[in-house]
């Protein structure tokens, strides 16, 4: 009987760890003013829970219990430490003096503080991503390393350096003030978007997608919308859901890449599309329209088209026009050219792409050559198509995409091809 | 916390700047310095002579070598600094972003290392 209830409590502790450990950590960082101390305190608090709860039963509010236990454990730890430097002294003083209302006050904002701190632009983008996945999402260093195909020691080092910079450069644990918010939010959204993209279209390696990372990015996006429902945060969540909705149709069972127009739309996840579309509407109704919301609106038009031919290319081109206004990027211009080709025919698209590469932009970007190859193929200009796909083949780094290009070249009658 | 804001600017471009622009720049610096004195951020600051006045000194194995020029030839050169007191990095970035040269050059913000005991 005793055994059983003990196991029961252990299950509870595990469940609470999964659901609440990041919240507890976020508050402990605020109270202790140090990431490493807070992580140790979090660990101590859960260890204490495993000892105490089977004896004394579950506390009424486990999260509050964990925070206050973590705090006391940190005080103990600091008092015991023999290498007592001034940072520790400050932390100890602050800890001892913190009153219960001060602990409570701002608990709700702690997760947002953690997100903004991990995504502080004074940290390198790599460090922002690693720290966010580690601290906000709770992935282990090994998991983060595996996701980004980085050796674990390299990644661990990156996290250690980032924490050191937070401490030594005085990056504050706070939500940015209103004037700073838009720029700082951009940096958070960018981190989430990079994580999603790495999961959606892995930049290198054997498989086309890494689902875990996309799921993690969507979870982060949801959390951000819950904590800070800014239009662009909503737009980014919509964008991710709409892309993710197509996951099952993007690769064949053999792991081959399938283009949007050839995808089986019955495989698209309707639930995600419905949620994505309604989020797009919410973001656009704010009248503060940014690049993520616009990209989401484009994705929504694709998602809502019954089949490829009934895609509303005029509206998509219109949205790309606006997107190009808010974000002058040659990649956006390239996508717009592809949409124009669908609306006005391949020549129109080719003229624009040639214009972009003539400016010396995107000439080393595999997708501009893949797009040209596709448009030449549509025009029946086999020689030009082959040349463009050959160039793509030189530039592409990801395995399924490389095999796709080889397939295309074979379809065009090429026989001398590298192994696929 | 104390931060050193290192002001980097393109000397060549600065020399070419018309007289009235230089005048405006100096006035902007006066206003800025006055502003951070009032807000309590200011601890110190100076403009430096151009890099052609720089001498780089090294001591190796007891031998001192002196060479003409700055430590590194870069596109932008260290032209001055402010030492400031700021609440945290965000506060320091706030101050640094208002240094007149931030519009043309770059400001490197470095926390001052505090030695204990």
CA angle A370/A372/A377 to nearest 5° reads 95
pLDDT band at A3 (very low <50, low <70, confident <90, very high): low
Distance between CA atoms of A39 and A136, rounded to whole angstroms?
Answer: 12
A58: pLDDT strictly greater than 80: yes
Distances (CA, A) of A249 to A265, A269, A325: 7, 10, 32
pLDDT band at A1 (very low <50, low <70, confident <90, very high): very low
Residue B85 burial class via C-beta count within 10 angstroms: exposed 0-12, middle 13-18, buried 19 and up: middle
Token pair listed for A260: 């949007």
* A144 Cβ contact list (under 8 Å, min separation 6): A130, A133, A134, A150, A155
DSSP A124: -
What's the pLDDT tens digit per position in A262-293? 999 999 999 999 999 999 999 999 988 999 99
HSE-CB for A415 with a 13 A CA cutoff = 0
Kindly determine whether residue A86 and residue B92, on different chains, have CB atoms separated by under 8 Å.
Answer: no
What H or E segment, with its residue span, contains residue B97? helix B89-97
Q: Residues A243-247: contacts with CB within 8 Å, 24+ apart?
A: A243/A196, A243/A200, A243/A299, A244/A200, A244/A214, A244/A218, A244/A269, A244/A272, A245/A269, A245/A270, A245/A272, A245/A273, A245/A276, A245/A303, A246/A303, A247/A209, A247/A211, A247/A214
Q: What is the predicted pLDDT for the residue at B14?
A: 86
Q: Does B84 touch chain A (CB under 8 A)?
A: no
Chain B partners within 8 Å of A86 (Cβ): 114, 116
Q: How far is A169 from chain B (nearest CA, A)?
A: 5
Chain A partners within 8 Å of B91 (Cβ): 172
Chain mean pLDDT for chain B: 93
Q: Which of B4, B5, B84, B90 to mutate to test binding with chain A, by most A CBs within 10 Å of its CB? A: B90
Out of A85, A168, A172, closest to residue B111 by CB: A168
Distance between CA atoms of A78 and B61, rounded to whole angstroms?
Answer: 44
Kindly determine whether residue A122 and residue B89, on different chains, have CB atoms separated by under 8 Å.
Answer: yes
Question: What was the ipTM of the complex prediction?
Answer: 0.85
Chain B partners within 8 Å of A176 (Cβ): 90
Kindly determine whether residue A174 and residue B1, on different chains, have CB atoms separated by under 8 Å.
Answer: no
Token pair listed for A405: 């290009």
pTM (predicted TM-score): 0.85
Q: Does A180 touch chain B (CB under 8 A)?
A: yes
What's the pLDDT tens digit per position in A297-320? 999 999 999 999 999 999 999 999
Q: How far is A81 from chain B (nearest CA, A)?
A: 17
Q: Does B111 touch chain A (CB under 8 A)?
A: yes
Q: Does B112 touch chain A (CB under 8 A)?
A: no
Q: Does A400 touch chain B (CB under 8 A)?
A: no
A206: pLDDT strictly greater than 70: no
């Amino acid at each position: 009987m005793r055994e059983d209830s003990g196991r029961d409590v252990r299950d509870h502790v595990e469940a609470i760890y999964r659901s609440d450990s990041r919240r507890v950590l976020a508050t402990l960082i605020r109270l202790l003013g140090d990431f490493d101390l807070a992580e140790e305190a979090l660990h101590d608090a859960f260890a204490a829970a495993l000892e105490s709860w089977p004896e004394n039963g579950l506390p009424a509010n486990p999260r509050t219990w964990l925070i206050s236990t973590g705090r006391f454990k940190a005080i103990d730890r600091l008092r015991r430490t023999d290498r007592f430097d001034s940072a520790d002294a400050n932390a100890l003083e602050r800890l001892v003096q913190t009153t219960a209302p001060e602990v409570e006050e701002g608990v709700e904002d702690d997760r947002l503080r953690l997100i903004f701190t991990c995504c502080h632009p004074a940290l390198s983008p790599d460090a922002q991503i690693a720290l966010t996945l580690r601290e906000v999402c709770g992935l282990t260093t090994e998991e983060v390393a595996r996701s980004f195909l980085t050796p674990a020691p390299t990644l661990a080092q990156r996290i250690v350096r980032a924490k050191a910079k937070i401490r030594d450069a005085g990056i504050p644990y706070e939500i940015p003030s209103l004037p700073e918010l838009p720029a700082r939010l951009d940096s958070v959204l960018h981190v989430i978007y990079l994580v999603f993209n790495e999961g959606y279209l892995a930049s290198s390696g054997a498989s086309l997608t890494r689902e875990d990372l996309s799921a993690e990015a969507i979870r982060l996006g949801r959390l951000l919308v819950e904590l800070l429902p800014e239009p662009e945060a909503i737009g980014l969540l919509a964008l991710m859901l709409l892309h993710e909705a197509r996951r099952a149709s993007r690769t064949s069972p053999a792991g081959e890449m399938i283009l949007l127009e050839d995808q089986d739309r019955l495989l698209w996840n309707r639930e995600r599309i419905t949620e994505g579309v309604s989020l797009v509407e919410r973001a656009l109704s704010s009248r503060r329209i940014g690049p993520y919301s616009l990209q989401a609106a484009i994705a929504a038009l694709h998602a809502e088209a019954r089949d490829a031919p009934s895609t509303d290319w005029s509206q998509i081109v219109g949205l790309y026009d606006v997107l190009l206004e808010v974000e002058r990027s040659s990649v956006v211009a390239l996508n717009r050219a592809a949409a124009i080709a669908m609306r006005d025919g391949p020549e129109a698209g080719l003229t624009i792409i040639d214009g972009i590469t003539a400016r010396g932009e995107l000439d080393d970007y595999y997708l501009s050559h893949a797009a040209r190859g596709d448009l030449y193929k549509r025009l029946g200009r086999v020689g030009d198509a082959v040349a463009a796909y050959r160039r793509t083949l030189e530039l592409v780094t990801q395995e399924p995409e490389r095999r796709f290009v080889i397939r295309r070249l074979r379809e065009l009658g090429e026989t001398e091809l590298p192994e696929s | 916390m104390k931060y050193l804001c290192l002001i980097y600017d393109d000397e060549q471009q600065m020399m070419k700047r018309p007289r009235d622009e230089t005048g405006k720049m100096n006035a902007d610096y006066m206003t800025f310095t006055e502003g951070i004195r009032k807000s309590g951020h200011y601890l110190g600051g100076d403009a430096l002579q151009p890099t052609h006045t720089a001498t780089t000194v090294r001591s190796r194995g007891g031998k001192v070598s002196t060479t003409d020029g700055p430590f590194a030839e870069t596109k932008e050169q260290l032209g001055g600094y402010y030492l400031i007191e700021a609440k945290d990095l965000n506060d320091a970035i706030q101050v640094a972003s208002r240094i007149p040269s931030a519009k043309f050059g770059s400001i490197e913000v470095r926390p001052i290392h505090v030695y204990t005991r």
